[in-house]
């Protein structure tokens, strides 16, 4: 927050937006923030197709069964941004991150194979390894395991994480084509 504030970012916390107008944003308190450009960078919503599909959905996401199937459907799996899984520890949904989506894909593939082979389906339990976010330039923040990361160390880790996912998706060729130099 300090870094972003030093760059001129002003944080408004616990200030719900009531309305966006041509001249700015009106907060629930009635205060208005004048702006010519408004960028909405919060909240996560799944696909509108999910809401139109007939499934019971919450913000475009389906609350899936532990094996990642849609409730009441033996032959429909839902993963990624469209799947809603509740973190029982805090009674809130897990965020739809690439980390979780990649894990869902693996369990879903195993469960599809199990259905074809007559085996048992696996339960999905997210394994959160950490979170790292780029702040622009060579700055980033994050938590990996119990270690907090800042600055260039976090930036290095962010690039390595991005490269790992590229490797998992397409192997060395995709890393060489789209990967990020950690330096």
pLDDT tens-digit profile of 103-128? Answer: 999 999 999 999 999 999 999 999 99
In this model, does residue 172 exceed pLDDT 90? yes
Contact 68, 77 (CB under 8 A): yes
Question: Per DSSP, what are the bridge partners of residue 149?
Answer: 142
Q: What does the mean pLDDT of the chain come to?
A: 90
Question: Per DSSP, what are the bridge partners of residue 131?
Answer: 143
pLDDT-above-70 percentage for the chain: 97
Predicted model pTM: 0.74
Return the CA Rg of the chain: 20
Reply yes or no on domain 48-117 having CATH 3.30.43.10: no
Say if strands 61-63 and 83-84 run parallel, antiparallel, or are unpaired: parallel
Structure tokens at 47: 């696909």
Q: What is the model's pLDDT at position 42?
A: 64
According to CATH, where is 3.50.50.60 located in the chain?
48-117
Q: What is the model's pLDDT at position 43?
A: 64
The H or E element containing residue 152 is helix 151-178
Q: Is 112 left (phi over 0), alpha (psi -120 to 50) or beta?
A: alpha
Q: What is the model's pLDDT at position 15?
A: 87
The H or E element containing residue 105 is helix 98-117
Burial class (CB in 10 A: 0-12, 13-18, 19+), 116: exposed
Contact 17, 28 (CB under 8 A): yes
Using pLDDT thresholds of 50, 70 and 90, give the confidence band for residue 181: confident
pLDDT tens-digit profile of 17-75? Answer: 899 999 999 999 999 999 988 887 766 678 888 989 989 998 899 999 999 999 999 99
Structure tokens at 147: 């270690």
């Amino acid at each position: 927050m300090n870094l972003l504030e030093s760059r001129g970012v002003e944080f408004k916390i616990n200030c719900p937006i009531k309305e966006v107008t041509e001249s700015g944003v009106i907060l629930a308190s009635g205060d208005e923030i004048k702006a010519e450009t408004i960028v909405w960078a919060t909240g996560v919503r799944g696909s509108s197709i999910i809401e139109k599909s007939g499934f019971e959905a919450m913000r475009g996401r389906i609350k899936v069964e532990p094996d990642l199937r849609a409730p009441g459907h033996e032959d429909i799996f839902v993963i990624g941004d469209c799947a809603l899984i509740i973190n029982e520890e805090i009674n809130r949904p897990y965020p739809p991150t690439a980390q979780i989506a990649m894990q869902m894909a693996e369990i879903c593939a195993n469960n599809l194979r199990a259905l074809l082979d007559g085996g048992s389906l696996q339960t999905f339990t997210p394994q959160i390894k950490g979170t790292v976010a780029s702040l622009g330039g060579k700055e980033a923040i994050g938590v990996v395991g119990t270690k907090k990361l800042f600055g260039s160390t976090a930036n290095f880790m962010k690039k390595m994480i991005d490269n790992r996912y590229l490797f998992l998706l397409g192997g060395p060729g995709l890393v060489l084509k789209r990967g990020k130099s950690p330096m």
